Amino acid sequence: MFDKTQDKPRAGAQKNKQSDELSDFVINVMPEAFKQKKTVVKEDKKPAPKPVAKPIVKPVVKPVVKPVAKKTPVKKKKSRLPLILGLAGLILVITLSILGWFAIQSVEPVEQDIPTDTTVDEVIVPDVVIEIRSGSDLDSDGLSDIEELLYGTDVRDPDTDGDTFLDGNEVFHRYSPLGEAPQTLLDTGAVDEYRSEDEVMTLTYPAQWSVATEVDSEFEETQDVIFRTNSTATIRLAGFKSAEGDFSDWYSDSARTSEDFSELDVTLTKEGYMAYIGSDGLLAYIEAGDMVFVFEYDLADELEIVYLQTFQMMINSFVAK
C-alpha cells in the first residue's frame, strides 16, 4: 500500500537533486556539438548501404541468368525442326525427280533394242548357209573320205594303185583308182549303168546306191530320176524340152535358180555335151539336142558336200540319144 501524495514530493525532490548534478556535467562535457554530430553520422551510415547494395546485386544476377538459360535453347529448338523438315522435303522431291528421269530414259532404250534384235535374226539366216562345207578329204586326192569307201581306195593314200594318177582324178574320168589305166569303174563293178525306160539316156552311178523315178513336183509331164546316196542326200536328174540352141532362153524362163545365166561355168563333158555348172557346183545343165537335162545335188538336211567328185563323174558319163 503506497501513498500517492507522499511519492510526489519525493520524486520532485529527487529531480531537483538530479538537475543539480546534470548542471554540473553540462559545463564540463560539450554535449550539443557531439549530439548533433552523432545523429548526423548515424543517419549517413544507414541510407548509404541501401541504394548501393540493391542496384549492384539485382541487375547483375537477373540479366545473366535469365536470357542465357531460357531464351537461347527455346529459340533454337523451335527454329531447327521446320528447317530439317523442309530440307527432307527438298531431298525427297529431288530424288523422286531423278528417279523419274532415269525411268523415262530406261524405257526409251528398250524400244530402240527391238529393231536391233530383228537385225540379229536376219543375220542368223545366212550363217546357216555358210555352215555348208566340203567333206573331209584326209589325203587331198579329190575324193572325200566317204567317197573313198564307195570305190575301195585308201583314205590316207592319194594314189592307191600307184600309177601316178590321184584317186579323185581317176574317178572323175571314170577310170578305176585300183588298177592300171585301161580298166574303168564299170569294169570293176564300182558303178552300175542307169538306162531310162525309153532308152533316151544312160549314165553310171555308184553300185552301192539305189535308183528310183518319180513325177516331177513342178512339171508333171516329166519324170525325175533319183539316185539315193548312203545318206539323206540325193542326186536328181530331169529332162526338159527346149528349142535347140536357145538354152539361155530356156534358162531364164525355166531354171529353178536365182543365179544369173552369165555366172554359170561352161564346160564340155567327157561325152562331148555342153554343160553349164552353177557356182556352188551343185547344179548342172546339159544341153543335148532339143532337150535340157538338169542334174541337182540335193543336200536335204546335210551340211557337208561329200559326193561332189561322184556327182561330176555321173555328169561325165551321161549320154542322150
Footprint of Ca ion (CB under 5 A): 137, 139, 141, 143, 153-154, 159, 161, 163, 165, 167
Q: Which is nearer to Ca ion, 185 or 255 (CB)?
A: 185
Least Å from the CB of residue 308 to Ca ion: 12
Residue 205: CB minimum distance to Ca ion, A: 19
Residue with smaller CB distance to Ca ion, 153 or 242: 153
Shortest approach of Ca ion to residue 160 CB, angstroms?
A: 5
Closer Cβ to Ca ion, 180 or 218, answer by number: 180
> Which residue number, 171 or 292, has a Cβ lying nearer to Ca ion?
171
C-alpha to C-alpha distance for 87 and 122, rounded to whole angstroms: 54
Q: How far is the C-alpha of 79 from the C-alpha of 182, rounded, in Å?
A: 117
CB-based contacts of 203, cutoff 8 Å, min separation 6: 193, 194, 237, 314, 317, 318, 319
Q: Measured from the CB atom, is 55 or 189 closer to Ca ion? A: 189
Strand 210-215 and strand 201-206: pairing? unpaired
Q: 53-85 as b/e, with b when 16 or more CB fall inside 10 Å?
A: eeeeeeeeeeeeeeeeeeeeeeeeeeeeeeeee
Shortest separation between residue 154's beta carbon and Ca ion, angstroms: 5
Least CB distance to Ca ion at residue 306 (A): 11
- Phi then psi dihedrals of residue 156, to 5 deg: -105, 10
